[in-house]
Amino acid sequence: MAMRAVMELETERGTQPEQVHQRGVGYHIRTDSRQIEVKGRTGDDHLVALNEEHIKAFDKEENSWPYIVHFDKKDTPTVMELNRGEVEKKKSGGSMS
C-alpha cells in the first residue's frame, strides 16, 4: 500500500516512477531524478528509523530520498518526503519533527 501511494504521487508529478526493489538495488522506486526508499506506518506508529544503510545512501547519492507513508485509521495515506537537510540534522543528533 505504501509503495502504491508513492507510485501514484510520482505519477501525478509526471516523473514516470518504476518499482525496482525486486532487483536488489537498495531502494524501492526510481524516477527520472530520485531513488526512493519507502517506509510505511499505520495508526499511532509515527516512529521511523533510518538505518546506517539509508544514511550512507544519502552520503553517496544526492538523488536518494526516503518517503514515509503514514496511513490513518481509514487507510488514507499521507506521504512525507525527507530532504537531505532533515537527514543531515538527524545524523548530527537533532530531531526530525
pLDDT in tens, the chain (97 residues): 999 999 999 999 999 999 998 898 888 999 988 999 888 888 765 556 566 665 665 556 678 888 888 888 888 898 988 766 555 544 444 444 4
In a domain, 96, yes or no: no
Domains held by the chain: number: 1
DSSP 24-91: TSSSSEE-SS-EEEEEEEETT-------HHHHHHHHH-TTEEEEEEEE-TT--EEEEE--HHHHHHHH
| Residues spanned by the domain of 57 | 2-91
In a domain, 48, yes or no: yes
Please tell me whether the overall predicted TM-score, pTM, comes out greater than 0.75 for this model.
no
In a domain, 81, yes or no: yes
